[in-house]
Chains A and B, each alone.
Chain A
């Protein structure tokens, strides 16, 4: 079942003509001419679609929180900043089929009553920005954007804003600051964007994938969308799979397939590269807890883990993780977890905006300590120190980047403590080129 990527490999799908030939912009026609904004919102609510940017917040509910004071403009902002290590799905969708996003933007803006909307694109993706701008121009030329769209009386202007070149600009309030032309510092909440967003007006911020899915929902109905998936994880999800698998890439999966199937089936990742075996998975982008092979395949209660919000987080922080933004990073037994944790810690150290002290100082501290451990200068007390620093950051910061920096470190130590200890106790072995710790009894062979 493909919703977003059904026609993605059709040649020239990036042009409006080909996109239309493949059923494109029907949702705009239907929504603007036959439905009221509230009816569109109602379908999105029914669909059970949850935000695809990481937090998984129900999209219909988020829309219904939007304040609607008289005479104050409202805005829809598409979060296309996608900078999380391991996540590259939005990029793929926008680059291959820009009109999928633009159609979703028109439908969603209509539902929210926004007459100006923005797509905030990660600054490094200049070529995607020009693809989008070209597609937007085509849509204007065809009367799908601008004044009185398709004669419906509804006006919408759509702008593309190149990002500030920082991971933190993906956090929704930092994004709004950056969009306003300021330094991308996250805001303290409340007030939430639904009340005071861009230009101090009510604003909805949604991920590319969330917005793109709305056109299908308008065409086929919320119930049809909700019929895909399991429980509260409805619909399909783009997963960007990377690492030691046979077929890395972006896959659109129906939520609810098993993790095992996703990794090993030929339809998806095609299994671990030859001669190696699964060691660990980071299931939802660098911010979510890492899980060892046995725990990612089965839950603590012995059930097969599914690719759903609920199943992946089953067991909480002790034995679970999160679906996050769908950045699925697979590691085989040649991966050094300490090294991997260092890579993540360095990233968050580099990307912290520096406003609040726990994150600003804590991310740097963790980076330096893990760096020492990796380079054979670890002290025994460092491991508990790292856990304590992570705890002192978590929950005490302005934005969730603090948590996102703390979790990967705390989880790596929780599940691979012996590997950290080995680095500290045997620096002469651990610092050898390519050295990887192996648990007693483990073997390299499949």
Chain B
């Protein structure tokens, strides 16, 4: 099946979603995902970060789709043409989504354990604007403990439902994850009951933000000061394939291994995650490959050092003050603007 995304055509299997097809092409084209999580059945379609424009529905029915569609749950059709990064309305809508997700977000990144590996940080940095239009008070919730090892900061939650699907799909029994509605909806304490399950810790890994964090790791380090290493052990409950996070010689955190889209490849058990914190518990495989843009790689691995493309001294010399009147105000005193000669 042929599908064209941002003028690049790929061949994909029937049943592939626009998101999967775009990911095949590469991260430059792939729409951002705040709720979709490939390993979790039923995930996606909620955050609307991945909305794209379908300018041609299929070869048979070439009409454009009237509304933007979520790339993560829309199946491609033969001859479909999709616009993501090249479409003005898509980018404009995405700015709006960032704004919506940040509207009630506490912006407490300086004290949040997720900072540095937070998808909301990346999403707003890449797709948002640097100003805010809201003057309203934010909705707030008290932090709660979900069992001995997991903390929930509801303030930071983006209601992606990933933890709900995780609790539902890899732990036993039906779990009702969300209570209340709208912007007062909360991840419910029913999850607390599922939390003595052997695999409950995975909700931390799937959470795109710092809403669910590992209490055994709490405030131990900023993520970019730690060094991720691949390791395994023979575990009776899970595959035992993990990432260890070192600070000096100390293992400060254990997580599942993630692919380049930030999705856990194999869910790990709570024993591996919370209790095996000694190097001697593990067989070390080697350093984790870290994407170059990630702050985690900064200043750590020689090969990943970021070299500016031009000499900085030269850039300073060439710097010109730009005559910029973009911040003039229409509502207050109108600034007098000189005519350009």
Contacts and interface: CB of A to CB of B under 8 A. Distances in A.
Contact of B136 (A350, A362, A365): A365
B331 A361 contact: no
Interface in B162-197: 176, 178, 180-185
Interface stretch (B100-108, B254-262, B319-327): B100-108
B96 A392 contact: yes
Given A380-B331, A392-B93, A351 B68 contact: no
Interface string A358-378: 101111110011001000000
B182 A379 contact: no
A166 B181 contact: yes
Interface of B: 34, 44-49, 51, 67-68, 70, 73, 93, 96-97, 99-101, 103-104, 133-137, 139, 158-159, 161, 176, 178, 180-185, 331
A358 B97 contact: yes
Nearest to A353: B181
A354 interface: yes
Contact of B101 (A166, A188, A361): A361
20 contacts: A168-B181, A183-B178, A188-B45, A188-B73, A353-B181, A354-B181, A354-B184, A355-B46, A356-B47, A356-B48, A357-B47, A357-B97, A360-B185, A365-B100, A365-B136, A368-B137, A381-B133, A385-B133, A396-B93, A398-B46
Contacts of B161: 355
Size category, A interface: 20 to 34
B333 to A, nearest CB: 14
B103 A350 contact: no
B133 to A, nearest CB: 6
A203 interface: no
Given A188-B70, A395-B68, A354 B135 contact: no
Contact of B159 (A168, A360, A368, A395): A360
Q: Which of A183, A360, A372, A397 has the most CB of B within 10 A?
A: A360
Interface string A163-203: 00010100000000000000100001000000000000000
Contacts of A358: 48, 96-97, 100
A354 B93 contact: no
B312 to A, nearest CB: 39
B33 to A, nearest CB: 13
B45 A396 contact: no
Contacts of A183: 176, 178
A349 interface: yes
Contacts of A355: 46, 159, 161
Contacts of B47: 356-357
Contacts of A188: 44-45, 70, 73
Q: Quick one: which of A168, A353, A357, A360 has the most chain B CB within 10 A? A: A357
What are the 9 closest A-B residue pairs judged by CB atoms, nearest first?
Answer: A392-B96, A354-B185, A352-B182, A361-B100, A188-B45, A364-B183, A368-B136, A354-B182, A357-B100
Contacts of B67: 395-396
A358 B182 CA distance: 11
A354 B133 contact: no
Contacts of A365: 100, 103, 134, 136
Contacts of A354: 159, 178, 180-185
Contacts of A349: 182-183
Contacts of A372: 135-136
Nearest to B103: A361
Given A358-B48, A363-B183, A369 B136 contact: yes
Contacts of A396: 48, 51, 67-68, 93, 96-97
Contacts of A364: 103-104, 139, 182-183
A178 to B, nearest CB: 13
Nearest to A348: B182
Nearest to B179: A183
Contacts of A379: 135
B175 to A, nearest CB: 11
B70 A361 contact: no
A353 B182 contact: yes
